[in-house]
Each structure stands twice: as structure tokens, then as C-alpha cells.
Amino acid sequence: MTYQEENRKLIELFSPCRVTDVRDGMDWMGYPHYGTVDKSVRPLLPAHVVGIARTARYVPYEGPAPTCTGDEYTAWAKWYYGNVCTDPWVADIEEGDFVCLDIAGLDVGLMGSNNTLACLKKGCVGFVTNGGGIRDTDEVIMQKIPVWSKHVSQGMDQARIRYLEKDIPIAIGGVAIYPGDVVVADNDGVIVVPRKVAYDVAKYAWQEMNGDKAGRQQLYKELGWELDDTVIPVEEKK
């Protein structure tokens, strides 16, 4: 099985699971202390997303901003994006990638309405960042692009942040994220599953998910409610 084939298999395996189911699966495998991204990282809009971690790290820009005219600043900003705050990881995006950006907690709009859409076109399923990391939120919400971030930002990148490296372990919200880890995110937040234990975690996530569905299904029947997908065990859908 190729890496890409296994990615598709893992995404399919975790897709029915809520963040809470995965949290339970991590507990069952002895990771009660690990995986849950800090609750300060919140969704921009309601969404449930499962993907494979693609990582990149940015750091604060330590150089001065130029003192110049507006036209000169326009030229400098163009240079900055081409040489300092670059995004070489975008070219690597594959179907199912969940983009994980360590931006050192900075209040800067690294991602916005345009570049998130370009990533979506390439196959990205969502974004998580430990800073602002997102701006143009009216359009991002309208475009239904899933984002989890610490806060919303206004500022552009120049003189604030610079690209450092990609495809390396990063830390977001107290969790180490390695390229290839499984990322599950919904309104309860974000959880990261180390790839090495993903299949075992999924086994117990499914166990708890279906147990919850069965219990709520019985209550639905007692209440006289029409059954919906949230109370039908996954095996019954096949």
C-alpha cells in the first residue's frame, strides 16, 4: 500500500467519528494526556473534517519595516511575499491534506479568502493554526472553508512573519503534530492522532461511537422521534 493509499484509508476510517469518539479512542490506547489541541483553538464555522497533517512553521519577522512612499511599499511588499513570507508547502498539497500551521501564536492573517481557496482547489480539507492565521473571514465563511484558529486577525504578513520550514514536527495548542498524523476537527475542537497508533485508536473510537448511537437510538424510539443518521450505527448504513 502506498502512502497516498493509506492516507485515503485512514481518512475513510476516521470520517464517521466525532472528535469526542476519537478522544475516547485515544484514552483507550493509553493517551489520556495527549492529542487534544488547546480549547483556545476554535472553529471559524461549524464543520466536521478529517484529514492528514501537512505541516509548516513560520516565525516572527525580526527585520525593520521600510520607511518609504506608498508605491515603494507596494513594491517592497511584493518582494516580501516572494522572498520572505513564502508558502512552498502549497505546491505539495494532496487530496485530503489538513494544513497545520505553526505561526508562533502571532496575530497575523497568514491565510485569507484567496489562498485558502487556492489550497482547497488542490485538495486541502481544512486548516488549523496556533495564532490568528486567518483574515477575510466573511468570505472564508461564505466559501465554507474549514478553519480552526486561536483568533481572527486583520494584518497582512509583511514585516510581521516569515516562512521557516515545512514537513516537520510542529506544536499547536500543546500537541506535537507530525506530517502524516490524522487530524479530526469539529465544533468540539481539534484532536491529533499519531499515525503509529491510528488503526488501534479508530477501533475503539468506533466502539464508543456506535455505543453512543445505539443508546440514543433507543431513546429516540421511546420519545417517538424519527431516526436520523446520528443514531444509526455505521455498520447498518452499508
Q: Evaluate if residue 236 carries a pLDDT over 80.
A: no
pLDDT digits (tens, 9 = 90+) for 125-160: 999 999 988 999 999 999 999 999 999 999 999 999
pLDDT digits (tens, 9 = 90+) for 109-126: 999 999 999 999 999 999
What is the pLDDT, as a whole number, of residue 62? 92
- 189-211 burial code (b ≥16 CB/10 A, e <16): bbbbbbbebbeebbebbbebbbe
| Strand partners for 56 | 101, 166
**Rounded mean pLDDT of the chain?**
95
Single-letter code of the amino acid located at 216: R
Single-letter code of the amino acid located at 12: E
Cβ contact 148:53 at 8 Å: no
pLDDT digits (tens, 9 = 90+) for 50-61: 999 999 999 999
Fold of 3-15+35-193: Glucose Oxidase; domain 1 (3.50.30)
The burial class, CB within 10 Å (0-12 / 13-18 / 19+), for 167 is middle
The CA angle 208-210-214, to the nearest 5 degrees, is: 115
Q: Evaluate if residue 235 carries a pLDDT over 80.
A: no
pLDDT digits (tens, 9 = 90+) for 15-34: 999 999 999 999 999 999 99
Between the alpha carbon of residue 20 and those of residues 3, 85, 134, the distances in Å are: 27, 36, 25
What is the pLDDT, as a whole number, of residue 205? 97
Report domain extents, the chain. Answer: 3-15+35-193
